Amino acid sequence: MPALVLLAILLTPILEILGIVLAVNLVGGWWTLAALLATTALGGWITRREGRRAWRALQGAVQGGAPAERELSDAALVLAGGLLLLAPGFLTDIAGLVLMLPFTRPLLRRPLAAYGERRIREAEAQVFPPGMTRESFTPYATRADRSPHGRVVQGEVVQDEAPEDDPPK
């Protein structure tokens, strides 16, 4: 996956420049510049509107005590879409609008949740030893079964007096 992200980061500017050059050849330089400025303005307006809406929904869910999975995923998609809309170019604007618009977000929410759950399972597999799950882990349990040296006794070392050999400081 990191290789795919790196490839996307490297290819995006090349594809954006290619798209702008093609647009200049098709409609001319001024119309291309006008289209880029229009998509930037439209993107800023949509980002502000949908960002406020996502923030209010997230606050309402948190204050109501309800699980906020949907609201968190919407906020993440709006944030990613806003960042893509800030980048100059037509391809990032299209991708940003797809992430940003309220009727396309539900289509992306399920794959985003599945990806997040898969990443959490992979991280848990690296953290917990074989046979132990997040549900069976208790940080206050005895560690005798996990320690190679047997039962571990928690304690504190207290030294009332300095040893005779050490000079006072």
Question: In total, how many domains does the chain have?
Answer: 1
Is residue 23 a part of any domain in this protein?
yes
Q: What is the pLDDT of residues 30-49, one digit of tens each?
A: 999 999 889 888 888 888 88
Position 1 in a domain? no
Domain housing 32: 16-127
Residue 28 lies in a domain: yes
**Residue 9: inside a domain:** no
The mean pLDDT value for 4-18 works out to 89
Using CA atoms, how far apart are residues 48 and 154, in angstroms rounded to an integer? Answer: 54
pTM across the whole model: 0.64
Position 116 in a domain: yes
In a domain, 113, yes or no: yes
